[in-house]
Structure 1
Amino acid sequence: MITTDYLVIGSGIAGLTFAAKIASKFEDRTVSVVTKATADESNTKYAQGGVAVVLDFKEDSFKKHSNDTLIAGDGLCNEEVVKMVVEEGPRRFKELQSWGASFDKDALGTLNLGKEGGHSENRIAHHKDITGYEIETTLLNHIQGLSNVTIYKHHFAIDLITEHHLKIDDYNSIICYGAYIMNQNTGIIETIKARATLLATGGIGRVYGHTTNPDIATGDGIAMAYRAKAYIADMEFIQFHPTVFYDKMVGQSFLISEAVRGAGAYLRNKKGRRFMLDYDARGELASRDIVARGIDNELKNSGELCVYLDCTHLAIETVKEQFPNIYKECLARNIDIEIDYIPVVPASHYLCGGIDVDKNGRTSIKNLFACGECSRTGLHGANRLASNSLLEALVYANTIFRYISTHPTALPSMNIPDWDDRGISHSNAVFISKKTQELQNLMRDYAGIVRSNNRLDEAFKQLQLLYEEIETYYKNSKLNTELCELRNMINVAHLIINQSIERKENRGGFFSMDYIEKSEHLQNDLF
């Protein structure tokens, strides 16, 4: 039994920002950060673009940033949340800078703000093309100076502890008392009790297999919250990043930042034709859902396997300076972007829905909070505006910190039973890998960029069979990370498919062939 004041599950920008702030505020209280890989392995680490924030008030404004967010969100954003995040953004960004995060500046020392798809002004603060890595490193360095923070590396969160685990049948509301955590080095499942628990577990990219996300992005927090009966919303809105390096491999793929298109790169088909202007007047700088569907349509019409990103007309020295990692990675893959087009395809990138939270980051379960990509705040609506995710994490981590600071809760006093896995047989790694691939193939084929009711119904039937098979296997096997991840991904896939079936009109990242007619809310529809 481990007792801590604040349990944080996830070590990206959301979890670490909250941990740093609450630990600094309450030096006599303990903060435990649980991460299933190394401390720096998170979706944050791989964010290339930057932080969308209004800093140049001569050219930009909160109203412009809010309008861009609302347009991208296709009528489903919570306007109060948009206003809160956009207006709070500059303060949180400057706080991050005060902790040591460095962002690119021009010769005069002014922040060199970039522009990405869906933005009307230059407002993306970035650190070359490795902004996420810079932020992650800064936060970890900051955390190391706080003696009341413990980071549990290689620890996997299995389940949230609620009345269900305490065998309490008569209760008015669900309360979170902590979580069961598996030490991946020993296999021992530990019990952690906490005043408050924060889920900051990142995305769900591996559900699709072909993804920009790291291997750890298996939707663990969402699945745990779902099993605990938290409210989950907007899971149908999956953002596919339009430009991921095409190399015929399924798995984590190399992202070509949207900022490259912001710098002037063109999308071309195999014949060399610049095609995005056929779909949107903004061309390559349309919002991601539109660009991803445009590419998908080009590929289906032509039968080709990829389209191309053309940087050859750009000043190569500027490209090397702004995107050194992308330039080097392309060279390593035998593409010299000074003379060659970059082969690209869309890939699963970001979930706009997740665990539903209010403006204080509270879930529908008492003492359970969620922040970052695993949460559904209402900021993104049906489609996230580029680089709003890091901003959202910074703002909501601070909002949750402020709420918890002024609404204290007591440590759970009851006895919580240990996890019981006696007499359970060991699981088969080959079987789990095979079933994981089966799930990923199903999701790519039936619940991808363009969907239909018939295919979603078929996906539901196939997934139900897989779910029943894995639940039986789970109950009879000794737990390991891969089995728990597969179970979580099946839960997430169930949410995506069910909520896709429930949606009866096209919005943002959700597009079905059964709803071709443009609704009164839609803007910039492709077809």
Structure 2
Amino acid sequence: MATRVVVVGSGIAGLTTALDLAARPGVEVTLVAKARLDQSNTAMAQGGVAVVTAPTDTVASHVADTVAAGAGLCDVDAAEVLCASGPIAVGALIRRGVRFDRAGEGLALGLEAAHSRERIVHAGGDATGSAIASALIDRLDDSGVVVRENTTVLDVVVERGRAVGVRLLGDEVLVADVVVLATGGAGQLFPFTTNPAVATADGVAIALRAGAVLADLEFHQFHPTSLATPGNHLVSEAVRGEGAVLVDADGRRFMTDVHPDAELAPRDVVARGIAEQMARQGGVPVRLDATGLGARFLASRFPTIDAVVRSQGLDWAREPIQVAPAAHYVMGGVRTDLWGRTSVPGLFAVGEVACTGLHGANRLASNSLLEGAVFGYRVAEAILGGAPAGSFGEAWAPRLVVAVGGGDEAFGRSDLQHLMWSAAGLSRDHAGLREAARVFARWAAPAPTDAKSAEDANLLVVARAVVASALARTESRGGHFRRDFPQSDPGSAVHSTLVGAPHA
């Protein structure tokens, strides 16, 4: 009898999982995408894939950089799995048609913040994610994977404690032996984000309602440099890696006063440094000065960014461009083991929606695409019986309970986003978080009558969980900064965990 698998999400994690499963006999795979297949965080990713390929680099160095960026909360075993498996995963991407940029006989390598070596492979200059997504989507044609685009998953169907399928908008049920959540991020919790419109925290909310354990939702990474224009288009960290610097309204380079690594400090440090400088200059965005790199280099190395910048009437080869932080990546998510298994039998999670502990409190740049490729393969292996038995252990037992229902007031998405930005954005405190929690408790999740109402319901559930997690962590660490607890507490270097309840 065939194993029926439903994979929800069409980024690198979902596509890798689906393709690897479909290549095995006796597996029937259905891939469900909320919008078009190419609408994902993966397709928008610019910088590249962090992987050890140079003879001067080592897996141990990549692990050390990952752990250091994670601010004391990385799962070292997860980091070792990621970094050691990286070259194999990138090789698989190349075999599936991804054409990474080359330098001579080898792959071209870039440098990004908090990396001790040049190890970022890229494609199309700054179009790495698009190149990966296109290549993997092309592979679906002859794979046998059944594709359902423009299809909204409302919930996982759980019977006798096990996931047995998914319920779609319109009440259709896709029956499955295994469900894989690969739904990506949660940037739409905030009004300013580099994420696409589809990044509405769906998988986290779906898992919460299914009874799965979540972890580390207070750790949200805000990318330091998005264009300070509508749309918050990402300006890749690789631009700073190539030598661009951040300057204030007077043209003074200010990050040298914030951290020894200046513009290449960990992302949370740079983002807060920019926010603090913006506050000092009345909210005016800071500027990214790439003029020293030259027009020809900018156009060839960063063609996507160059086109966007110039489409807005700016010439970044001649004058600095205004940038500001924007929500980018959530380190937490559905708690999984190193094979993607959640606390609900039959339910797996992979990619940004999952939390293995790999990223700790602050993801190392360009580890996200690699995570999708590495752990997508591992999820497929686990589903096929190729993974050892595992256990979550006491360290991951749920400590918080958050309401997935309750409230009777209608709300607008913009209201939720702006409240999240002010109360749970780059910096937080008890008063702001407590007030946000009170407001969210009053609001009622809309009935899912269409895709947008389903998304709004998911955003509310996850907003409650983020605020609860942020309130419980009375310290500052990585992407979580408390104005009222500005220092890290060594005794608090533990993962936050929570589950849902109808009324908490």
- Normalised by the length of structure 1, the TM-score is 0.87
Return the alpha-carbon distance in structure 1 between the equivalents of residues 328 and 53 of structure 2. 27
Q: How much does 1:401 deviate?
A: 1.0
Residue by residue, what CA displacement relative to the aligned partner does 1:120-164 show, whole Å, maximum 9, x if unpaired?
100000011110000000001111111x2111011000011013x
Match of 1:272 in 2: 251
Return the alpha-carbon distance in structure 1 between the equivalents of residues 489 and 37 of structure 2. 45
Return the alpha-carbon distance in structure 2 between the equivalents of residues 407 and 308 of structure 1. 50
* Residues 14 and 517 (structure 1), Cα distance of their counterparts in 2 relative to 1, 3 Å cut: closer
Return the alpha-carbon distance in structure 2 between the equivalents of residues 217 and 518 of structure 1. 30
- Normalised by the length of structure 2, the TM-score is 0.91
Return the alpha-carbon distance in structure 1 between the equivalents of residues 158 and 429 of structure 2. 37
Q: How much does 1:340 deviate?
A: 1.3
Match of 1:205 in 2: 187
Match of 2:45 in 1: 47
Counterpart selection for 1:448 from 425, 432, 436: 425
1:391-470 aligned within 5 A: 391-406=370-385, 435-466=412-443, 469-470=444-445
Residue by residue, what CA displacement relative to the aligned partner does 1:312-343 show, whole Å, maximum 9, x if unpaired?
11133122110011111111111101111110
1:406 partner SS = coil
User: 2:186 touches 2:199 (CA, 8 Å); kept in 1?
Assistant: yes
1:83 is aligned to 2:80: yes
Match of 1:66 in 2: 63
Residue by residue, what CA displacement relative to the aligned partner does 1:250-293 show, whole Å, maximum 9, x if unpaired?
xx421000000000000001010100111110010001000001
Match of 1:300 in 2: 279
Q: How much does 1:518 deviate?
A: 4.6
1:154 partner SS = coil
Match of 2:222 in 1: 240
* Residues 522 and 295 (structure 1), Cα distance of their counterparts in 2 relative to 1, 3 Å cut: farther
Match of 1:425 in 2: none
Match of 2:162 in 1: 175
Q: How much does 1:301 deviate?
A: 1.9
Match of 2:151 in 1: 155
1:354-365 aligned within 5 A: 354-365=333-344
Q: How much does 1:4 deviate?
A: 7.3
2:272 partner SS = helix
Match of 1:118 in 2: 114
Match of 1:195 in 2: 177
Give the count of matched residue pairs: 470
The amino acid that maps onto 1:49 is: G
Match of 2:98 in 1: 101
1:4-23 aligned within 5 A: 5-23=4-22
The amino acid that maps onto 2:207 is: A
Return the alpha-carbon distance in structure 1 between the equivalents of residues 248 and 226 of structure 2. 15
Q: How much does 1:39 deviate?
A: 1.3
Runs of 4+ in 1 over 2 A off after TM superposition: 516-523
Residue by residue, what CA displacement relative to the aligned partner does 1:472-507 show, whole Å, maximum 9, x if unpaired?
x42xxx611111100000011011100001102111
Residue by residue, what CA displacement relative to the aligned partner does 1:329-378 show, whole Å, maximum 9, x if unpaired?
11111110111111000000000000000011100000100000000011
1:209-288 aligned within 5 A: 209-247=191-229, 249=230, 252-288=231-267
Return the alpha-carbon distance in structure 2 between the equivalents of residues 301 and 452 of structure 1. 20
Q: Which stretch shifts more, 348-357 or 35-44?
A: 35-44
Q: How much does 1:407 deviate?
A: 6.1
What runs of 5+ residues in structure 2 fail to find an aligned partner? Answer: 388-408, 494-504
How many percent of aligned residue pairs carry the same amino acid?
A: 39
Match of 1:491 in 2: 461
Q: Which stretch shifts more, 311-320 or 63-72?
A: 311-320
Return the alpha-carbon distance in structure 2 between the equivalents of residues 145 and 363 of structure 1. 30
Match of 1:133 in 2: 130
Q: Which stretch shifts more, 148-157 or 514-523?
A: 514-523
The amino acid that maps onto 1:24 is: A
Q: How much does 1:109 deviate?
A: 3.0
Q: How much does 1:514 deviate?
A: 1.0
The amino acid that maps onto 1:216 is: V
Q: Say what the alpha-carbon RMSD is for the aligned residues.
A: 1.7
Q: In terms of Rg, which structure is larger?
A: 1
Match of 1:426 in 2: none
User: 2:298 touches 2:317 (CA, 8 Å); kept in 1?
Assistant: no
Return the alpha-carbon distance in structure 1 between the equivalents of residues 490 and 41 of structure 2. 35
